[in-house]
Amino acid sequence: MRTSTEKLINYIMLSFFAILVLAPFLWIATIAFKTQIDIMMMKIIFKPTLFNFDKLFFSKEATFFRDIFNSLFVGIISTLIILVVCSMASFTMIRTKISNWITAVLFLWVIVFHMLPPITFVGSWFQMANSVGLFNSRIALILAHVTVNLPLGLLIISSFMRDVPTEIQEAAYIDGCSNRQVYLKVMLPLLGPGLFATAVIVFLFSWNDFMVAMNLTAKATQTVPVSIATFSQQYEVRYGEMAAGSLVSLVPALILTFFAQKYIVKGLTAGAVK
């Protein structure tokens, strides 16, 4: 870009796409603050009301606080499990001498599983959960989310693992550290940013999941996306609550994107097959 006209055209193009991305969110934000009548009348100028949020959280049949708790609980626990499982496995596969075929098979299977449609597995998870009495339990959903997001976790952590200089690890061995000590005292601290990037992405994907949660939970354990979807299924679509619930469910992503944009970009790029 050398001439200022080129620069201008470039900014105009980017702004155009930016508006395309933003407009739908602004639109749903206005809907969330409208009454059902204002929504139907397509009023551009309206008196903002918190009516939808009030109904979403405090009406008699409201479950939204519990839904949020379920989503947070499942998201946080499954993220922690993924961090532990994937960082240990990644360290052993990438940073210790181990038969190549074990690493190759594990990585290949993880990548293939990452690409397969998850619905092909959900049926079996449902049957398995049922047969051990775990249907409609948060444990079943946590295990399913660990499985679904494990590939992303492993790929992201591994790409950060490769960036840790080997000299530090070798120095630790010379000082007499065992693999376990190297993992706990050297690698984990050095992997801090990588673990953070992984945690943010994996948590968001768990928070966002609808399909697995819908099939493995019932009313008491349903997560936020499942709850939002139910607003569209009643006899009369409850647009206001759907919009209000949607708006609330955007909060974690907005906060995390704001504070951790750099890590998310790095993590998402690392998680893609290269």
Burial of 28 (0-12, 13-18, 19+ CB in 10 A): middle
| Residue 31 engages another protein in binding (rule: CB under 8 A) | yes
CB closer to another protein, 62 vs 106: 106
To the nearest whole angstrom, how small is the minimum distance from the Cβ of residue 72 to another protein?
14
Q: Is 256 in the site for another protein (CB under 8 A)?
A: yes
Q: Measured between alpha carbons, how far is 224 from 214 in angstroms, rounded to an integer?
A: 10
**Total interface residues for another protein by CB under 8 A:** 101
- Tell me if 10 contacts another protein by CB under 8 A: yes
Q: Are 28 and 231 in contact (CB under 8 A)?
A: no
Among residues 48, 123, 132, 220, which is the contact residue for another protein, using CB under 8 A?
123
Rule CB under 8 A: say whether 94 interacts with another protein: no
CB atoms within 10 A of CB 144: 26
Site for another protein in 159-188 (CB under 8 A): 166, 169-170, 173, 178-180, 182-183
Q: Which of 3, 4, 100, 234 binds another protein (CB under 8 A)?
A: 3
Q: Count CB atoms within 10 A of the CB of residue 143.
A: 20
Measured distance CA(184)–CA(88) in Å, rounded:
9
Q: Does 101 bind another protein (CB under 8 A)?
A: no
- Report if residue 110 touches another protein, rule: CB under 8 A: yes
Residue 65 near another protein by CB under 8 A: no
- Which of 33, 53, 64, 125 contacts another protein by CB under 8 A? 125
Strand extents, DSSP E, 42-185: none
Compute CA distances 88 → 72, 107, 169, 274, whole Å.
24, 14, 15, 22
Residues making up the chain, counted from first to last: 274
Q: Does 35 bind another protein (CB under 8 A)?
A: no
Residue 59 CB, nearest distance to another protein (Å)? 19
User: Which residue shows structure tokens 């493995």?
Assistant: 216
Which of 2, 165, 167, 235 binds another protein (CB under 8 A)? It is: 2
Q: 137 or 147, CB closer to another protein?
A: 147
Distance between CA atoms of residues 211 and 231, nearest Å? 16
